[in-house]
Chain A
Amino acid sequence: MKIVVCIKQVPNTDTVKIDPKTNNLVRSNVEGIINSFDRNAIEAALELRQQAGGTITLLSMGPDSYITSLRDGLAMGADSAILLSSRKFGGADTLATAYVLSEAIKKIGDVDLILFGRQSVDADTGQVGPIVAEDLQLPQVTFAESLELQDNNQLTGHRLLDNVVQEVKVKLPAVITVRSEMNSPRYETPLNIQKSFEKEITIWSENELAVDPTQIGQAGSPTVVKRIFSPEKAGRQTQMLPNNAKDAVAQLLADLNN
């Protein structure tokens, strides 16, 4: 089975600062890590490879610093990695991001299964997987919490909708987005980390892909960030409780009981 896992590198912190002048994230000094749900996607791929054989290619679009997380993914046990990197890809919204990923998947060719995390932990849209599925005209199982190989070209997945669990059967090729409930990602072993440095990371820019320049990066992104602001404080009157915990609790309980 030929599996592609799309991974995004995210800052290893929740409180990234925004440059008030440019509206851009200040990314310097913040270490990048694999988006946590994408580790679940890699784990799912490793388990499927164990059952069905095949190869796992990691695919990521981003600046050269994304090599860090691709290297980590290789150390988990993936076979190869491709970084889609170019200034022209910058400033992409979900539509333009998914377009470039889709074109790369076409170039890889004969892919049976494309795995995504359910969403990124920084921008949090969960849109990239479904857009890729549509671009490639493939069936999708989003928010999957289980995945089972039926035979070599069919999977059964379960996904939790608002108050029902859906059982879905898909024939490959297909797109799956993975919830953290599906598995516990394995840790990198020293041997695998060592091996990961022997694996090559391929870099493709727009020159290697058959992309339409009007559909990539900022040019291909219909959404525009208009304004970034701090919301007004919620209007609650805050009453300070005494410094001593015992007195504080006594006062609180007296107040609440009134």
Chain B
Amino acid sequence: MNNEIWVFVQLNGQNVEPTSLQLITKARDIAGDRPVVALVAETESMNVEATVKEYGPDKMVILKDDQFHNASDGEIADALDQVVTDLKPNSLLFPATVLGRSVAPRLQAKLKTGLTADCLDIYFDGDDLVQVKPTYGDDIMCEIICPDVRPQMATIRPNTFKAVKAATDTETVNYSFTFHPEANIEVVSETPVINSAANISDAKTVIALGRGANNEKVIAKAEKLAGKLGGMVGVSRPLTDNEGFSHENQIGQSGNTIAPDLLINFGISGAVQYAVGIENAKQIVSINTDAKAPIFDKSDYAFVGDADEFMSALLDQVR
């Protein structure tokens, strides 16, 4: 056992998935004298080391094999298991992306250790990696630790931390391992998704609707307002059950993190799982009939009153 913090570097095609770099920075911030190690699994022709190095890991452990192209979750987990079992890091962080959330638990099962999902913060308390995540209820977070087993594993929510470049002498270790193909599964193809529909994470203005604004009339007005303001309509989780909305429109912990210049919340109470998705918005305006709604504490402007009324007034006055 050593005291190293490892970060799994996810690759999207030829590029490094941004969360991985954010995690290298975060690991450096909390490391103290613990070395930060980037774990890279790539094909022979790829070379993401140069990019990863810019973020200042103390070491890179590189696994190279052409079969990483279109590898299955099980194959990736098997390769990682070999190096982790051998070199025994103290902690191991994954991006909470679809891939991270699929590979990390398979690795967890091999290592028989704990894995905390979708963390919003991490810090060390002695040797314990304290993993912070929201739990039930409007404003409740919990801290999870894995006191007796190593490595301490966590997946961490994308875009929670900023990636910052840092100059360090980075040691590079080419780790030799055996790629074990999984017999009964084949990744046939990978097709890039053309994001033709604009993505709510990138929208400059967001009109967000919650359960207090969940009727056809208000929704239609919101679409119109979004059109006028050049923005997009987003929703709290309950509204994803509506015909017209899906997970793509959802704001919050289990949806999208947004960072618009202007966010207007209509009939949203402000549960912590929603609130974590809007922290990076520049200006927040909230409309709610309940003067005590938690959303107001997270807002720059508050209107205590009816969503429909305020929306109509906005439609009238915005040119």
Task: Please give the residue numbers on chain A whose beta carbons come within 8 Å of chain B beta carbons, in ascending order.
Answer: 14-18, 25, 93-95, 98, 119, 121-131, 133-135, 138-143, 156, 159-171, 174, 180-181, 221-231, 233-234, 236-241, 243, 245-246, 248-250, 252-253, 255-256
A contact face: mostly helix, strand, loop, or mixed: mixed
A-B contact number at CB 8 A: 245
Residues of A within 8 A of B116 (CB): 223
- Are B279 and A234 in touch, CB under 8 angstroms? yes
Compute how far the CA of A239 lies from the CA of B124 in the bound complex, rounded to whole angstroms: 37
- Are B118 and A124 in touch, CB under 8 angstroms? yes
- Are A125 and B117 in touch, CB under 8 angstroms? yes
Query: Which of A15, A163, A223, A227 contacts B114 (CB under 8 A)?
Result: A223
Query: Which of B108, B128, B313 contacts A248 (CB under 8 A)?
Result: B313
B186 within 8 A of A: yes
Compute how far the CA of A245 lies from the CA of B302 in the bound complex, rounded to whole angstroms: 11
Nearest CB to that of A153 among chain B residues?
Answer: B184
Q: What are 6 A-B pairs with beta-carbon distances under 8 A?
A: A16-B136, A161-B12, A162-B12, A164-B193, A237-B300, A252-B303
On whether A231 and B99 interact (CB within 8 A), knowing A164-B192, A167-B188, A224-B146, the answer reads no
- Are A93 and B117 in touch, CB under 8 angstroms? no
Residues of A within 8 A of B34 (CB): none
- Are B101 and A95 in touch, CB under 8 angstroms? no
For the complex of A and B, 5 pairs with smallest distance between CB atoms: A222-B114, A139-B185, A134-B109, A125-B117, A223-B114
Closest Cβ of chain B to A155, distance in Å, is 10
Residues of A within 8 A of B4 (CB): none
- Are A140 and B275 in touch, CB under 8 angstroms? no
Residues of B within 8 A of A230 (CB): 139-141
* Segment 166-203 of B: residues with Cβ below 8 Å from A: 182-193, 195
- Are A168 and B72 in touch, CB under 8 angstroms? yes
Residues of B within 8 A of A141 (CB): 185
Residues of B within 8 A of A127 (CB): 101, 104-105, 108, 115, 117
Extra contacts besides A125-B117, A160-B193, A236-B284 (8): CB < 8 Å: A95-B112, A127-B117, A140-B74, A164-B190, A164-B193, A171-B183, A248-B310, A252-B303
On whether A238 and B303 interact (CB within 8 A), knowing A15-B138, A124-B118, A142-B101, the answer reads no
- Are A130 and B145 in touch, CB under 8 angstroms? no
Compute how far the CA of A143 lies from the CA of B73 in the bound complex, rounded to whole angstroms: 12
Closest Cβ of chain A to B276, distance in Å, is 9
Residues of B within 8 A of A140 (CB): 72-74, 102, 106, 185
- Are B184 and A170 in touch, CB under 8 angstroms? yes
- Are B109 and A234 in touch, CB under 8 angstroms? no
- Are A142 and B137 in touch, CB under 8 angstroms? no
Closest Cβ of chain A to B198, distance in Å, is 14
Residues of B within 8 A of A131 (CB): 105-106, 108-109
State which of B57-65, B215-223, B291-299 sits at the interface with chain A: B291-299
* Segment 242-268 of B: residues with Cβ below 8 Å from A: 246-247, 253-254, 262
Residues of B within 8 A of A221 (CB): 114
- Are B302 and A227 in touch, CB under 8 angstroms? no
Compute how far the CA of A126 lies from the CA of B157 in the bound complex, rounded to whole angstroms: 14
Residues of B within 8 A of A166 (CB): 70, 187, 189-190
Residues of A within 8 A of B283 (CB): 256
- Are A226 and B145 in touch, CB under 8 angstroms? yes
On whether A14 and B301 interact (CB within 8 A), knowing A164-B191, A249-B314, the answer reads no
Chain B residues within 8 Å of chain A by Cβ, number: 91
Compute how far the CA of A59 lies from the CA of B309 in the bound complex, rounded to whole angstroms: 49
Nearest CB to that of A165 among chain B residues?
Answer: B191
Compute how far the CA of A236 lies from the CA of B195 in the bound complex, rounded to whole angstroms: 33
Closest Cβ of chain A to B312, distance in Å, is 7
- Are B300 and A135 in touch, CB under 8 angstroms? no
On whether A160 and B98 interact (CB within 8 A), knowing A167-B189, A170-B184, A233-B297, the answer reads yes
Compute how far the CA of A109 lies from the CA of B232 in the bound complex, rounded to whole angstroms: 50
On whether A161 and B97 interact (CB within 8 A), knowing A130-B73, A223-B144, A224-B144, the answer reads yes
B46 within 8 A of A: no
Compute how far the CA of A187 lies from the CA of B246 in the bound complex, rounded to whole angstroms: 20
Candidate in A180, A245, A246, A256 with the most chain B CB atoms within 10 angstroms: A245
Residues of A within 8 A of B186 (CB): 168-170
Cβ contacts B206-231/A at 8 Å (1 or 0 each): 00000000000000000000000000
Nearest CB to that of B279 among chain A residues?
Answer: A234
- Are B142 and A95 in touch, CB under 8 angstroms? no
- Are B74 and A139 in touch, CB under 8 angstroms? yes
Nearest CB to that of A126 among chain B residues?
Answer: B101
- Are A130 and B185 in touch, CB under 8 angstroms? no
Closest Cβ of chain A to B108, distance in Å, is 7
On whether A167 and B187 interact (CB within 8 A), knowing A18-B136, A240-B304, the answer reads yes
On whether A18 and B191 interact (CB within 8 A), knowing A124-B117, A170-B185, the answer reads no
Compute how far the CA of A93 lies from the CA of B145 in the bound complex, rounded to whole angstroms: 12
Compute how far the CA of A161 lies from the CA of B192 in the bound complex, rounded to whole angstroms: 9
- Are B99 and A161 in touch, CB under 8 angstroms? yes
- Are A130 and B106 in touch, CB under 8 angstroms? yes
- Are B17 and A162 in touch, CB under 8 angstroms? yes
Nearest CB to that of B241 among chain A residues?
Answer: A36
- Are B301 and A252 in touch, CB under 8 angstroms? yes
Residues of A within 8 A of B304 (CB): 240, 243
